Amino acid sequence: MEGDEDVALNQVKVGDLLRVLPGGKTPVDGVVVEGHSSVEESMVTGEPIPVEKSAGGKVTGGTVNGLGSFVMRAERVGNDTMLGQIMGMVAQAQRNRAPIQGVADKVAAIFVPVVLAIALLTFVAWMWLGPEPKLAHAMINAVAVLIVACPCALGLATPMSIMIGVGRGAREGVLVKNAEVLERLEKVTTLVLDKTGTLTEGKPRLMDVLPADGFTSESLLQIAASLEQNSEHPLADAIVEGAIDRGLTLDSVMDFRSVTSGGVAGSVASRIVMVGKPDFLRAEKVMGLEPLEALVTKLQEDGKTTIFVAIDGKPAGILAVADPIKSSSVEAVQSLHALGLKLIMLTGDNRRTADAVAKQLGLDGVEADLQPAGKVAYINKLLYEGERVAMAGDGVNDAPALSAADVGIAMGAGAEVAMESAGVTLVRGDLRGISQAIRLGLATMRNIRQNLFFAFL
């Protein structure tokens, strides 16, 4: 564009004006000074629904811009950005982690000095009481003690079990970064879970179509989706996809217009259609929304976002959009509870949505509206209370918490930094893999102890 100049990221300074193009990533933290768009911030907040941004709105480096374009003023660059701070917390947590000694090392620390002491006593005894040549007899018997007392199985007990355990986990889609993780998995008492992309699908979907009197679900959705196909709003895709999935044919739109932070309007099949917030519809002279608004509370309690539809100046119904819970999450939660684990959800999403998801899944606790540092603080609190903590997540915002926990578990479809911070990666991104990983840790450590026991028989 005229007057614009491409610069390297490391050349951006505080106060610079930067243009963010449609589909591009926000380069640094800052504030919007011109234009408007929707920015997908799930990597930081965990909120799957993109957030509308206009002049005065804060934006975070690394988040993905939608279809609009805006100019922003840089406020934080380099390591001072939110993303830079997250990476710093990851590095700090990894440096502070104390190494855990293997079972065989603990046994050897006691066994080897004892065997050496017995061999030395044998040498002294033969030198004092043995027949001539005393030195030869003493050396032979001392060496014999060392040979007999050293169980060859001791050196194989741990590596063989770990090799088999890690290999079996890989076949099941559970990738273990190192052997210490298996030992930590056995001792986990509390599992901390991210919401978006871990318990839920991480993408908004059309959940409910509630028509007003005089309309059917099919006609309401068909007309609303026809209008929304021209919209850049992040929820429009969910409505359009919902209509297409139901086999509905979309009509062309005339006189389309969009009102920022309000809604969209246009003509569909010679009918005047408006889709958006209640205040937007009222500003367009649509009255009688109260019966529909009475339905909103229950939908919001279930963590759904509501969108109002009016046709020819009359309320036509409500569309409800939400990030649905994964089909495997209920079974996974039941399986993890059966292992005796306490399950707590930490999310950057709002309290209403978080409570709805926690209630549906039967979780033991939930903390909402958390930034990455807040997740780390909560995990450190659990560790201070004596809990052995595993953390499961998939986003950039989860990386510090994954590093802070005793065991970090990353979803295979998540961000690369999350997988780098985790000790376990679930290739299939299925929460049921966590119970498989914990059972794998239990079985591997049990097998190691059995091997060590029989090594001394």
Other C-beta atoms closer than 10 Å to the C-beta of 315 total 25
Tell me how far apart the alpha carbons of residues 200 and 398 are, in angstroms, rounded to a whole number: 15
Task: Return the closest-CA partner of residue 195 out of 323, 341, 82.
Answer: 323
Cβ within 8 Å of residue 364, ≥6 positions away: 342, 343, 344
For residue 231, the number of C-alpha atoms closer than 13 Å in the C-beta half-sphere is 26
Catalytic residue list contains 194: yes
Between strands 190-193 and 389-393, the pairing is parallel
Tell me how far apart the alpha carbons of residues 437 and 361 are, in angstroms, rounded to a whole number: 20
Instruction: Give the chain's length.
Output: 457
DSSP conformational letter for 213? T
E strands, 130-262, in order: 174-176, 190-193, 205-211, 253-259
**Which residue out of 194, 237, 251, 430 is catalytically annotated?**
194
Angle (CA) 221-227-231 rounded to 5° is: 120
Find the Cα–Cα–Cα–Cα dihedral 157, 158, 160, 162, rounded to 10°.
150
DSSP conformational letter for 413? T
Catalytic positions, written as ranges: 194
